Amino acid sequence: MRLPARGARSVRVETTNQTSFLPMSSTVPGAAGYGANASVLASQYESITFSEVYRDLLHLFPVQPCAVLDIGAGSGRDAAELSRRGHQVVAVEPTAELRAEGQHIHRELAIEWVDDHLPTLAALRRTKRRFDVVLLTAVWMHLDESERSAAMEALAELSAEGGVIFMSLRHGPIPEGRRMFEVSAKDTIQLAAGFGFRCDFEAEREDMLGRSEVRWSFLALHKRVAHR
Ligand SMILES: C[S@@+](CC[C@H](N)C(=O)[O-])C[C@H]1O[C@@H](n2cnc3c(N)ncnc32)[C@H](O)[C@@H]1O
């Protein structure tokens, strides 16, 4: 078997009498388990709306068009709604199969899809762009403690002054085949404070997909404006 080229979407598999192309799943640890089930997962993610997910925080979203970064965008449900609302949206998604689903489902929208990942977001940081809104919906708990620290540093760099991070954290049993950690809202607020973010909203709620064993924390973390 040949190794895939960097950034390749599929891998060429050669056996003695056959050549075929298989989709390439991400090598990002936190993305484990997403590629193989991408179309089922995309339907599940699209079965709820942005307004249902962010029900309790809708009043905190900017109304004026601004730069939005959706990290771990999945099928692009939230990226799509914010794009429809007139924002300029970059959707980062390391799982090629989910990225392809999102690009297809929301093909009529001007979402910029990027193959990058936490904790470093190296490709995006090279562009020196800054974002007014950063979304991390059901993503942060895929990172271990040292990755979360490095990721918060990246988020501080990518956030515009006065910008806001909206984050949801999953609590409950870890699904088979996934890499996930129990991460508390309290520890996340504390980590963010060390990088210049103030928590303006914290709430816990039931699962949007009706799983009784799962609960979610929601946070809004505002980047303090530096006084010169
Ligand atoms: C539970 S899904 C959430 C998708 C979407 N945000 C939503 O709410 O529907 C988690 C997503 O995080 C992505 N992910 C996992 N590890 C990641 C990492 N290290 N950096 C960026 N995204 C990651 C997965 O590929 C997957 O799309």
Span from the CA of 38 to the centroid of ligand 1 (angstroms): 11
Residue 228 lies in a domain: no
Taking the model in full, what pTM does it have?
0.90
Would the CB of 118 count as within 6 Å of ligand 1? yes
Span from the CA of 2 to the centroid of ligand 1 (angstroms): 28
Span from the CA of 140 to the centroid of ligand 1 (angstroms): 8
Would the CB of 81 count as within 6 Å of ligand 1? no
Contact, 171 vs 138, CB < 8 A? no
Residue-wise burial string across 131-169, b where 16 or more C-beta atoms lie within 10 A, e elsewhere? bbbbbbbbbbbbbeeebbeebbebbbebbbeebbbbbbb
Per the structure block, which two tokens stand in for 220? 């809004």
Would the CB of 72 count as within 6 Å of ligand 1? yes
Per the structure block, which two tokens stand in for 101? 């689903």
10 Å Cβ neighbour count for 115?
Answer: 15
Pocket probe mutation, ligand 1, options 82, 142, 145, 214, max atoms within 8 Å of Cβ: 142
Would the CB of 42 count as within 6 Å of ligand 1? no
| CA pair distance 102, 34, nearest whole angstrom | 13
Would the CB of 142 count as within 6 Å of ligand 1? yes
Q: Which of 41, 44, 50 is nearest to 68 (CA)?
A: 50
Provide the total of helices (H) and of strands (E) in the chain, helices listed first: 7, 9
Residue 15 lies in a domain: no
Check residue 33 and give its pLDDT: 87
Per-residue pLDDT of the chain (228 residues; tens, 9 = 90+): 233 333 344 433 232 334 334 445 678 888 888 999 999 999 999 999 999 999 999 999 999 999 999 999 999 999 999 999 999 999 999 999 999 999 999 999 999 999 999 999 999 999 999 999 999 999 999 999 999 999 999 999 999 999 999 999 999 999 888 999 999 999 999 999 999 999 999 999 999 999 999 999 999 999 998 776
Which residue's CA is minimally distant from atom 22 of ligand 1?
A: 72
Residue 60 lies in a domain: yes
Length of the chain counted residue by residue: 228
pLDDT digits 0-9 by tens, 7-47: 344 433 232 334 334 445 678 888 888 999 999 999 999 99
Residue 198 lies in a domain: yes
Residue 7 lies in a domain: no
| CA pair distance 106, 153, nearest whole angstrom | 30
CATH, residue 109: 3.40.50.150
| CA pair distance 69, 184, nearest whole angstrom | 23
Order of strands across the sheet with 88-92? 112-114, 88-92, 67-71, 131-137, 159-171, 215-223, 197-206
Measured from the CA of 73, which atom of ligand 1 is nearest? 6
DSSP summary character for residue 184: -
Residue 16 lies in a domain: no
Overall number of domains in the chain = 1
Would the CB of 34 count as within 6 Å of ligand 1? yes
| CA pair distance 88, 82, nearest whole angstrom | 8
Cα distances from 128 to residues 90, 94, 118, 121, in angstroms, run 14, 20, 16, 11
Per the structure block, which two tokens stand in for 14? 């050669």
Residue 33 lies in a domain: yes
Residue 10 lies in a domain: no
Q: Which domain holds residue 116?
A: 25-223
DSSP summary character for residue 35: S
Q: Which of 74, 65, 52, 185 is nearest to 131 (CA)?
A: 65
